[in-house]
Every structure is written in structure tokens, then in C-alpha cells.
Copies of this chain bind each other. A is one copy, B any other.
């Protein structure tokens, strides 16, 4: 474990042992140093090597989090918040060792205010379970990063989004208030439950997306939305990527109430056809969902079909019945697994960028050229209504040359998005993986971020080496 010479007065290993001993005494079986558990709490999902913490503490209350952070501060030991570990850029790694603070036991729905369309949950609540709890209320929490297990706290920390953003927004738009523990153990509440406020700095949105580097989020107050009266799903195949993107642009310009609009490229369509026994045309394909009253949803679907046909769509299918909707969306839902299965034994570097929607077709097209020119295999899946897309760059595990090659591809992709006034990450975050790219994207503003980090965490104990180098 590396020691942090700039902040540690005594060798970190000694401080660390003392901190762990103290926490063990206090938390007993909820402080774990077992190797298997430690490794489960390191990064496990992409090309970034796992760097396990020295211990894992399972907190049950905000006050316990404050206590654990207080010990970490006293001994200047790194502390890394952990939800479900589904982040993709090494956010939960412990490059300087230290204590992983696992929030998965803090998974209660604390309060539901149905009339105000809000609820407060503990940070460890999985988003899928929240929607199960809400099932009988006529309300739902829309942000869908693609996994039921992602915790609300983790999603807030990484400013997560996903397939429904085009209609319901990201975590930025759906977090009303936070309770958080700061680096010195202080507990703050960033806002009340009013739908809007002009009272002082927006600490809520400063913490959303701060990846555990400014404070540890322990409670989240969320906006909820009414379950739409009617949901219509649709699938449209296009002759070219540009025609799919142009249809998307036109639909957004018209203010059509699209709830989801997802693009799968022909490579991905091929994989899902094989995986799910489908027979979709191997063309750029949009998967859509419309929410509204039956009349409004029907009107939207008809308008969209007209737009799609005028852009040359070769096939347009829609469905209102739930089973039929699920069948239509099966290809999209299973895309990630289908890609894994289509190239067995290969690992994936999953990266994402986001550009202004008017630049999307161009950005994807240039990326396809890059993929072909470099002999890579990288299916593309996009939340096209937001200008956000993912490339799943396949590589042989252990082949360092190939890994270097696809890392180069991911860097070029990010630089391309930045040059188009976009961002190096629409929803995955910076973590360890995109620190240089953040610098490329935001320049001087990164120094401002670092000043804030330094002001709120002068010892640098909160999730060190994330966001900043």
C-alpha cells in the first residue's frame, strides 16, 4: 500500500492498524478484513485492476458513518464509500489502501411523501427495490442505469442516468436533497423538500457526481413521478445511422414526449439476434417508449412513425400490451449479455461519451471509422435522445498490447466528443479511468474543483486519487 507522504505524520501502516483495531473493537463483525470480502469491494468490472481496501466497515446509520469517518480522519486513513460496486471507472478502488465504507445495510425507505411526489431513502437502497416498494403507490423512480442493484447513493455519487433521461432527467434532476457526512465527520443536510430553493449554494448538486470525494452521502431525497397511464413501445429500423439520428433530432425538436429512445448498431443487432433468437434486420435500430394518456401516447407514436418513415425507416412496429412491449424491447434489454455471449472469453472496455445531439451521427460515424481502421470489435449502444453512447470494446484478457490499443481508442473517442463540445463521460464518471480526459475537457476548471476538494477534505482521505491525479 502506498503511503501518502503529503498528509501522514506517522507511517500509514501503523496508523491504519490502529484505525482498524479501533473500528474492530467498536463494530465487531461489521468490520471485516477477510481477503475475499476485501477483493469483492475493489473494482471488478472493466480493464482497471482491482485495488482492494485494507478493511470493509458495514455502517447502519448516518451516525455510524460519521464515527467511522471520524476515526479515518484521526488516523488520516483513506475512506472509500461503496454501494453495489457497479461503477465502471474504478470509483471503488483503494489505490492507497484504507477502509471501504459499505453502505449496503443502509437500505431503508425512510419516508414516502406521495402527495409531494418525493421520498427519502438511505444511500444503500437498490433502485430496483425502491420501485418494488413504490409499486402500489402509482409512483415510480425513473432513473435507470441498466442494473436493478445500483444503489441510490452510488447513483447520486456518480450522477448516474440511463435509458429514461430523455424524459425524466438524470440524478442531477431527480435528487432534491442529501444528507452527507463530511471528511471531518460533520453531518449536513443540503436542502429541504421544497421543489425549488434559492437559499445559498447548491450543495446538493455539488455532491451529486462528486464520487465520494467531498462527502459520503447517507440519505437521498428523490423526486418521484406518476406511473404513466399508458406506455407504448416501438422499434424502428433505419437504412443508415444518420437517418436514425435525424429522426431522433426531429422528434426532440417537436417536443414529442419520448420516454426512451435507444440506438443499437448492426453489430449489436447481430449479437442479440443470435442470443435471443430474434430476426431483426441488421440495421441501425431505434428502441422507443412513449408515456402518456392513451390518446397522447398514440398521437406521439403516430407522429414518430411518420417522421421515421420520411427518413427512410424500413420497419416500424409498436405495441401497448405489456408482454408484447417486453418482447419488442428484449433486444435492447439483453444487449450487454448478448455481446458478452457473442464473443465468449473476451473482456470488454465499456466507455461512454456524450455530445450535443446534432453532432451524434457525426460522432458515431467517425467512431465506426476508427473502429474499422484499427481492426477493433466494438459494438455501439446509445441513449441517442441525450447524445450519449457507449462503445463496448472487446479484448482478450491479459493481452496488454490489445488493451493499450483499445485504451487508445477510448481516449480518441473522448477527445472526439470533447472537440464536438461534448463530454468525456455522459454517465459513467471519472473515477480513476478518465482523470487525464477530465483535464483535457475542462482545463482550468479542474483546478477549481481541486480547490473545493482541498477546502472540504484537506487531509485527502475521501476516496483519494479519484477524479484528480
Contact = CB atoms under 8 A, between A and B. Distances in A.
Looking at chain A, what size class is its interface with the partner chain?
35 or more
B198 A428 contact: yes
Contacts of A442: 188-191, 199-200
Nearest to A417: B194
B448 A188 contact: yes
29 contacts: A113-B358, A115-B357, A115-B358, A116-B358, A117-B253, A159-B198, A161-B198, A172-B205, A186-B448, A190-B442, A192-B422, A192-B423, A194-B386, A194-B388, A195-B354, A195-B388, A197-B425, A198-B429, A199-B434, A200-B438, A200-B446, A201-B206, A202-B205, A203-B448, A205-B206, A225-B255, A226-B253, A448-B456, A452-B455
Interface string A435-460: 00110011111101101111110000
Nearest to A191: B423
Contact of A255 (B200, B228, B441): B228
A424 interface: yes
Contacts of A453: 201
B438 A195 contact: no
A426 interface: yes
B196 A386 contact: yes
A366 interface: no
Nearest to A138: B253
Interface stretch (A125-133, A236-244, A281-289, A291-299): A291-299
A366 to B, nearest CB: 16
B455 A451 contact: yes
A456 to B, nearest CB: 6
Nearest to A186: B444
Contacts of A255: 225-226, 228
Interface in A321-350: none
